[in-house]
Amino acid sequence: MSLILMEGGRRLSGAITVQGAKNSVLPILAATLLCGDICRIRRCPRLQDVETTMEILRHLGCRVWWESEDLLVDSSTVCCWEIPDQLMRKMRSSVIFLGAILSRCGQAKISYPGGCELGPRPIDLHLAALRQLGAQIEETGGSLCCYAEQMNGSELMLSLPSVGATENAILAACGAAGTTTIHNAAREPEIRDLQNFLCAMGADVHGAGSSTIHVVGKKRLHGCDHQVIADRIVAATYLSAAAGAGGDICLQEVDPGHFSTVTAALAQAGCRITCDETSVRLQSDRPLRGISLIRTSPYPGFPTDAQAVVMAALLRSQGTSVFVENMFENRYRHAAELRRMGADIRPEGRVAVVCGVPRLQAARVDSTDLRGGAALVVAGLQAEGITEVGEIHHIQRGYADIVGDLSRLGAVIRRENT
């Protein structure tokens, strides 16, 4: 078993470059199936979910290998259209392969995906969009058997702006004859990054970043060289760490516009934020102020993935902060672990009230999910004593080197195998 141990009470300072975005690279890796050629993915983060995606690609017949920090995929040798249950269960994002395999092979068989236990996250929207494009889908014994001899472009109206359903619809539409228009599409920066990657392969996709996306299918695609955008949630985590512990840090090679709601919240709490086109600087002198209301919502609203780390930054703030979680039912599982450290958090349904306390005490705590685990690290950097965070496999799903990054910013933190 591995732990992350950190000594609280140290101010953070310095500059680091933020890793590539997990939520960009996973659909991009699935999209490499469409071209039957070699793609180079630059700034690819070395994450457990990326390793799982590499396993899936290899199972499907692709060649996948690292060259320094670049990941290369040769999909010319695809020979399989089925993903086994043990791979599907490793991560939620595995469902994104459904649209890509259908586009490439005309059929696909997968089981229901796994991932963090954050409450019900049905894939009904994914399946409805694929059916509207002409796919026939049978659900039997936890498996999805999909056939699509000929998919045709269509007008798709998503009942919710689901990121995964938008991505699956785009990938499937690339293999459909004619034009597909996706209405009420998700607007996240990662959707735009997927569009840019597909266009670099020769696809005709436009409109990403808005609520309406157009895809002209059946284009001849080819390999490409693409650099993934910076991970806005990792950026939010390190900003939250410096806000809570105090410090002066600069994050480089980021787009501050991608997480402007987070920087706005931290500025409201009393941090000084300075941004340019590719960097953001945060200066924090304790104590912070409570924030009246943080309400999560689809992009461009406050991201649900940043809720836990910002909450951890405000544990010692003066006053009260109120969080309303509108995206997932079980997003406050980290609250019980934070209370072990002396935090005053009162969750009630979708609302959590955080009353600032003068100090936090180190404790042995366990990650409950990816972002909840990162929140424990943010809290541990403020606590008196040495905090031990267990179940760090959750954290490793989204952070390539959280220990190294925070060490470079001056944190006393290490990973220990027990």
Token pair listed for 226 = 């693409």
Single-letter amino acid, residue 403? V
Token pair listed for 71 = 């990941």
CB burial of 86-103 (b: ≥16 within 10 Å; e: otherwise) equals ebbebbbbbbbbbbbbbb
* Residue keyed to tokens 């975005």: 21
What DSSP designation does 152 have? Answer: B
Helix runs in 340-397, H state only: 370-380, 393-396
CA–CA gap between residue 321 and residue 293 (Å, rounded): 6
- Pick the catalytic residue: 116, 146, 174, 224? 116
DSSP assignment of 167-229 equals HHHHHHHTTSBSEEEEES----HHHHHHHHHHHHTT-EEE-BTBSEEEEE-S------EEEPP
- Cα 209 to the chain's mean position, in Å? 17
CA–CA gap between residue 167 and residue 279 (Å, rounded): 28
Q: Is 80 a catalytic residue?
A: no
* Residue keyed to tokens 């619809």: 169
Whether the Cβ atoms of residue 146 and residue 161 lie closer than 8 Å to each other: no
Single-letter amino acid, residue 309? V
Active-site positions read 116
